[in-house]
Amino acid sequence: MSAAVVTGAATAASRPAALPRLARRVGRTAGRTVWGSAAIVLFLAVWEFAPTFLLTPATRVFLPPLHVVLAAGWQLTLDGQLESNIAASLSRAASGFAIAVVVGVAAGLLIASYRRLDAFLSPLLELFRNTAALALLPVFTLLLGIGETSKITMVAYAAFFPILLNTIAGVRGVDPLLIRAARTLGVGRARLFAKVVLPAAVPTVFTGIRMGGAASILVLVAAEMVGAKAGLGFLIVNAQNSFLIPDMYAGILAIALIGLAVNGLLVALERRFSRWRAPAV
């Protein structure tokens, strides 16, 4: 009897407790989301209201409020300008990036496999790696013109080095114990690469690919700003020169969003290929 009373009391007490617990969890998640996006919302609010209330009309021209920029972006989307420029930029970035991935991974595998090749090429690669890609922009423009070739080459050049260096590090970093184990398990020298070295290096290679992806967008926009007939970099500079300031900001906003999306995509890809790695604590 008394036991039943106790149980009844316990359920009675726990039932109303269940609802607040769920509510609390929802509340906590919501709270984290709100707090996480608060800075962005605040930034956008400042952008929206500061020009209107704090700036003089003369300076407001150079920093139009957010809604004006968004309207300009909408207009650019409607007449197809934004899409065509994004398409131009993305196709260049993708081509250059693809070249960098293929050449960078292949060269990295070769250099990591042959000590003599490494000793021969490393000093030269070190020199080139430390030469800022943008410093070579005039050279590429002079030699390859202002067309697609020079832009794609720039992107490939900038993305090449992180991919190359990470590939080398990945191959070098393979645990020698795994190689010993594989040999005792019947893997010949010829297949060792495919069965052990390559899979072990994949996560590091993908880190390089992600870094290369970020570098390619960065460099491309700069290259387009210097000399191009299309692309987001061109859109921005052209808008500035034509005094279409809201259009300029719309272009910048588009670049920010694309950079964010590309990075998110590459991070997801990297994670997909590193699933087997112990989560870093």
Partner 1 sequence: MTPKISLRNVTKRFPVRSGADASAQGTLTALDDVSIDVPPGDFLALVGPSGSGKTTLLDLLAGLTEPTSGAVLVDGTPITGPGQDRGVVFQQYALFPWRTALANVTFPLENRPVGGVRLTRAQRVQRAREHLELVGLRGFEDRYPHELSGGMKQRVAIARSLAYRPDILLMDEPFGALDAQTREQLQDELLRIWRATGTTILFITHDIDEAVYLGTRVAVLSARPGRLQAVVETELPHRGHGGDIRSDPRFVRLRHEVWSLLHGGDRLVAEERAVA
Residues that bind partner 1 (CB under 8 A): 175, 177-178, 180-187, 191, 195-196, 199-200, 202, 275-279
Nearest approach in angstroms of CB 181 to partner 1 is: 4
Nearest approach in angstroms of CB 167 to partner 1 is: 17
CA distances from 31 to 17, 21, 26 (A): 21, 15, 8
Measured from the CB atom, the residue of 90 and 200 that comes closer to partner 1 is 200
Q: How far is CA 50 from the centre of its chain?
A: 30
Measured from the CB atom, the residue of 191 and 271 that comes closer to partner 1 is 191
Measured from the CB atom, the residue of 24 and 277 that comes closer to partner 1 is 277
> 91: number of CA atoms within 13 Å, CB side?
10
Nearest approach in angstroms of CB 186 to partner 1 is: 4
Nearest approach in angstroms of CB 169 to partner 1 is: 17
User: CA-based angle 25:27:30, to the nearest 5?
Assistant: 110
Backbone angles phi, psi at 173, to 5 degrees: -80, 0
Measured from the CB atom, the residue of 205 and 235 that comes closer to partner 1 is 205
State the CB neighbour count (10 A cutoff) for residue 241.
Answer: 9
- How is 218-268 classified by DSSP, letter by letter? HHHHHHHHHS-SSSHHHHHHHHHHTT-HHHHHHHHHHHHHHHHHHHHHHHH
Measured from the CB atom, the residue of 126 and 175 that comes closer to partner 1 is 175
What's the CA gap between 88 and 155, in Å, rounded?
A: 13
Nearest approach in angstroms of CB 119 to partner 1 is: 18
Two tokens, residue 133: 């890609």
Measured from the CB atom, the residue of 83 and 175 that comes closer to partner 1 is 175
* 205 close to 163: Cβ distance less than 8 angstroms: yes
Nearest approach in angstroms of CB 205 to partner 1 is: 13
* 83 close to 77: Cβ distance less than 8 angstroms: yes
Tell me the residue length of the chain.
Answer: 281
Measured from the CB atom, the residue of 56 and 184 that comes closer to partner 1 is 184
Nearest approach in angstroms of CB 269 to partner 1 is: 16
